[in-house]
Amino acid sequence: LERVSQRELDAWIARNLEPSTAFSRQVKETVKKICDFLKEQCFDSIRVHKTVKGGSTGKGTALKNNSDADIVVFLSCFSSYQDQKERRAEILNHIEKMLEQCRATLTFSVMIINLRRKGRFGTSARSLSLTLQSTSCSESVDVDVLPAYDALGRAPRSTDVELGAAPAGAALAALSPCTGQVIQDAAPDPNVYVRLLAARGDLSEFSPCFTELQKLFVKRCPAKLKNLLRLVKYWYKEVLKPRNPSANLPPKYALELLTIYAWEQGTGASEDFSMAEGFRTVLELLCQHQKVLIYWEKYYSLQHPDVGVFVKNLLLHSSRPVILDPADPTGILGQRADWGAVAKEATRCRSLPCVAFVHPWNVQPARPVTVEIKRLTGHTLTMSISLDTTILELKRRISAQWDIPVYQQCLGQQEPGRAPLTLQDSATLAASGFLGSTMLMLLQTEDMEVLVKDNCRMTPYTVRPTDTIQQLKQKIYEKQRVHVDQQQLMFDSKQLEDQYTLAHYGIQSKSVIYLLLRLRGGTDR
């Protein structure tokens, strides 16, 4: 890679990173034999619902000389996330024992070597790892066997229906009638994730349950993007890792998602793009890792009353970079990793011949959101801006579009039944909790005159749209000496409540507000 030019990059990837057809076929045959063994010979009383091939081999992003595959085994003995947590070690012991007994009798076109445990949560291993080594060349694949609860293929329980979570008999996802595998790239029933949160596992602990969605998310990518993913993973394995052998590096999946995000934002998800520009963009984002905040709402929604609240809290209170698994709302990736080492190497590699003279795509490290600005006049303005944009910066953009001075702008969000939330200039959209598309009200805080009418006369008052009803009552007291607690104000046949602004009720210049007086006994006159 150190000697590859920008012009040669695509051809170099095709020649050096794409796996050979022969080895891919051998691996496919061997993985199938392992899956068949797990289904037919490994267990007596436990039924295998299905096996799913994940990892780079399953996603179609395998590298030529060394790749990885996950074989996720969905078992009948796991009827919940908790079952998986409690019985995983027992099941792994059994699979390891049976593989050791049977691998000498199974006929493979590749060798199975380095059978070992692999764990991430405390001392409890979560997978059984082995290496498939070609007998005829240097190519190999690292395989992880992971037992898992079939969360996506399970029908809703009656208790779920009683809770109003899903209609009786509703399917969680489009499943193959033959294999039970997820075949439609769509959101599952939200209760899948509600139960996940209720299990209170470690972050990403139950990620294998969502392998099918993770696989679909990457597999949908066009061929050229998959080659960019191969390039990034090659850089990770052959450049970053050897130069940082003892560093706690983030998982490759985190860089994979970062690359997909860069492509979506930088090209509008186009299949025709510059490989060099794409790689340079990923390196630039890695250099800005302290600002990275990316997520998707493809399989779960931030608007869901339970899942959305959890995800928003996770996004807002986790240290950057924040890269959230699109298939697992608890799957925040690389939180304790040494991103500084990654950034240092990315900075050095920006001078590689293949990227040194290209410009990166215009991609913000924090995901952009759509913000609609609405005025009392009914005029609206829509813009796409980064989550790290401050309210002051947003006001400057509004000023450029509508010629309203920044000091006259008051931005807020009005939610039904709540007092209006006025946004502070120094806060970012993310810090203000706006992690999805949102609408903000713009009030122009220049003075206006309203008329307050009682039984005797009409009295003018100078106010601003952002003044509250309480503030107007105080002005009435100062001018007419009517105590605030004796005042009842009406506009448009509605009683005005103290905590709301004049703008909330649509009160404009020359509006007439009626003042009724409460007698000491509590009646009005």
Position with higher pLDDT, 113 vs 291: 291
Percentage above 70 pLDDT, the chain:
86
Q: What is the mean pLDDT of residues 348-361?
A: 97
Q: What is the pTM of this model?
A: 0.79
Measured distance between the N- and C-terminal CA atoms of the chain, rounded to whole angstroms: 86
The residues near 416 (Cβ < 8 Å, ≥ 6 apart) are none
Is pLDDT at 519 greater than 80 in this prediction? no
Give per-residue pLDDT as tens, 453-471.
998 899 999 998 888 999 9
Residue 362: count other Cβ atoms within 10 Å of its Cβ: 8
Residue with tokens 């040194």: 356
Is pLDDT at 249 greater than 90 in this prediction? yes
Q: How far is the CA of 226 from the CAs of 92, 179, 265, 278, 362, in angstroms?
A: 32, 27, 16, 12, 21
pLDDT of 278 reads 98
The residues near 125 (Cβ < 8 Å, ≥ 6 apart) are 88, 89, 92, 117, 118, 119
Q: Across-strand partners of 72?
A: 52, 146
- Pick the closest to residue 195 from 231, 156, 221 (CA basis): 156
Three-class SS of residue 396? helix
Q: What is the mean pLDDT of residues 85-107?
A: 82
- Max avg pLDDT among 32-41, 126-135, 223-232, 509-518: 223-232
Give per-residue pLDDT as tens, 142-171.
788 999 999 998 644 333 333 333 333 334
79, HSE (Cβ side, Cα atoms, 13 Å) = 4
- Pick the closest to residue 309 from 335, 329, 336, 337 (CA basis): 329
Predicted confidence band of residue 41 (pLDDT cuts 50, 70, 90): confident
Q: Report residue 320 as tokens.
A: 């950057």
Three-class SS of residue 2? coil
Percentage above 90 pLDDT, the chain:
60
Position with higher pLDDT, 349 vs 524: 349
CA 472, CA 464: separation in Å to the nearest integer? 10
Q: Report residue 155 as tokens.
A: 């029908």
pLDDT of 29 reads 81
pLDDT of 162 reads 31
The residues near 413 (Cβ < 8 Å, ≥ 6 apart) are 420, 421, 423, 434, 438, 439, 440, 441
Q: What is the DSSP string of 134-203?
A: ESSSS-EEEEEEEEE---TTPPPPHHHHHTTSS-TT--SS-B-TTT--B-S-S---THHHHHHHHTT--T
pLDDT of 365 reads 97
Predicted confidence band of residue 176 (pLDDT cuts 50, 70, 90): low
- For 147, counting Cβ atoms within 10 Å of its Cβ (0-12 exposed, 13-18 middle, 19+ buried), the class is buried
β-pairing, 293-294 vs 124-134, is: unpaired
CA 84, CA 64: separation in Å to the nearest integer? 34
pLDDT of 158 reads 33
Give per-residue pLDDT as tens, 271-287.
999 999 999 999 999 99
Position with higher pLDDT, 447 vs 154: 447
Is pLDDT at 60 greater than 70 in this prediction? yes
Q: What is the mean pLDDT of residues 36-40?
A: 88
CA 49, CA 72: separation in Å to the nearest integer? 11
Is pLDDT at 419 greater than 70 in this prediction? no
- The secondary structure of residue 324, as a DSSP letter, is B
Q: What is the mean pLDDT of residues 383-404?
A: 94
pLDDT of 165 reads 38
pLDDT of 254 reads 97
Residue with tokens 């992880």: 144
pLDDT of 31 reads 82
- Max avg pLDDT among 180-189, 375-384, 436-445: 375-384
Q: What does the mean pLDDT of the chain come to? A: 87
Q: Give backbone dihedrals phi and psi of 182, rounded to 5 degrees, phi first.
A: -70, 125
- The secondary structure of residue 367, as a DSSP letter, is P
Q: What is the mean pLDDT of residues 86-104?
A: 85
Q: What is the mean pLDDT of residues 63-86?
A: 89
Q: Picking from 37-51, 144-158, 191-205, 265-279, which range would have the lowest pLDDT averaged per residue?
A: 144-158
Predicted confidence band of residue 340 (pLDDT cuts 50, 70, 90): very high
Cβ-contact 231, 13 below 8 angstroms: yes
- Max avg pLDDT among 129-143, 475-489, 504-518: 475-489
Q: What is the mean pLDDT of residues 245-249?
A: 96
Is pLDDT at 107 greater than 70 in this prediction? no
Q: What is the mean pLDDT of residues 387-413?
A: 91
Q: Picking from 139-143, 425-429, 505-509, which range would have the lowest pLDDT averaged per residue?
A: 139-143
Q: Picking from 109-123, 132-146, 235-249, 329-343, which range would have the lowest pLDDT averaged per residue?
A: 109-123
The residues near 429 (Cβ < 8 Å, ≥ 6 apart) are 369, 371, 385, 386, 387, 388, 389, 391, 394
- Pick the closest to residue 329 from 157, 62, 494, 151 (CA basis): 151
pLDDT of 475 reads 96
Rg of the Cα trace of the chain? 30
Ordered by where they begin, the domains of the chain are 18-220 (3.30.460.10), 222-365 (1.10.1410.20), 368-444 (3.10.20.90), 449-517 (3.10.20.90)
